[in-house]
Structure 1
């Protein structure tokens, strides 16, 4: 049985988790620069330690409403490969919880029916203390939203 360490966070009252080894930092909200003409999914960038990185809103991928910022909102900076190259990406989170262990025996395949979200956007579902944790499939989300090129083009180190 394998175990992953995962950072848990909320999006519109639902708990999500990302493998902790992807996470570089959790930040308070930072000033954002909107990108004219960019899709809302990746419509802004932030300055992270002198680097301009795209800010992705996973709520839009899961057809969730986007609310006004609150004191609990955070930006989770991850390193994720885009077009085969590592890239820093900021993910909006309504609230960040903790790093927790998720074991294989606490996860299940995603049912193909009965979900309000696209099943291919979810890698696994996990149960912890009776709560459901969604482990998103970032590769599928970026590809299906047609955003891989847009996210890449907003990242200066990815420009070709």
Structure 2
């Protein structure tokens, strides 16, 4: 997966914070960014699934990434946002502490992630993006949302091999 990221001339990622760490996801997966609205809870949902919202007639599940990645006790304030993703023709929202900016990374700014145990399952990490002193953990958000554990997306459109 890292090679796919590296083969492109530039990768545009939306950077956001979870706790003290900064993450990045492919900007092409992002539909919109919203304030953190009230959600309708779903009985027996995992704790990281906050519930659902009605987004212009579409029922959207909302995942709190801070709970999913176990990065402290989440607080909901004026900086807390929901990133609405469009993955495999399905719409999902993720709650993050704040959105930083859109960053363009060149191939030489993207490094392989070290193999180690971490709060983030390394299967979902595409690499590490470096911008000066900043380091972004680049997530494969499609793969994460399609994971068996989350089970939010059952099928993802297949790319031609």
TM range, smaller chain = 0.7 to 0.9
- Which residue in 2 is equivalent to 1:147? 150
1:128 corresponds to which residue? 131
**Does 1:56 find its partner at 2:63?**
yes
SS in 1 for 2:108: helix
Scaled by the length of structure 2, the TM-score of the pair is 0.82
* Length, aligned pairs only: 147
1:26-57, CA deviations, whole angstroms, 9 ceiling, x for partnerless residues? 00111101111011222411121221100012
SS in 2 for 1:21: helix
The 3-state SS of whatever aligns with 2:53 is: strand
In structure 2, the gaps of 5 or more residues are 1-7, 155-161
TM-score, length-scaled by structure 1: 0.82
1-side partners of 2:36 and 2:23: how far apart? 19
Unpaired runs of 5+ residues, structure 1, are 154-160
Q: Are 2:16 and 1:9 equivalent residues in the alignment? A: yes
Asked if 1:23 corresponds to 2:23, the answer is no
The answer to whether the 8 Å contact 2:25/2:141 transfers is no
Give 1 or 2: higher helix fraction: 1
Worse overlay, 5-14 or 113-122: 113-122
Aligned alpha-carbon RMSD (Å): 2.0
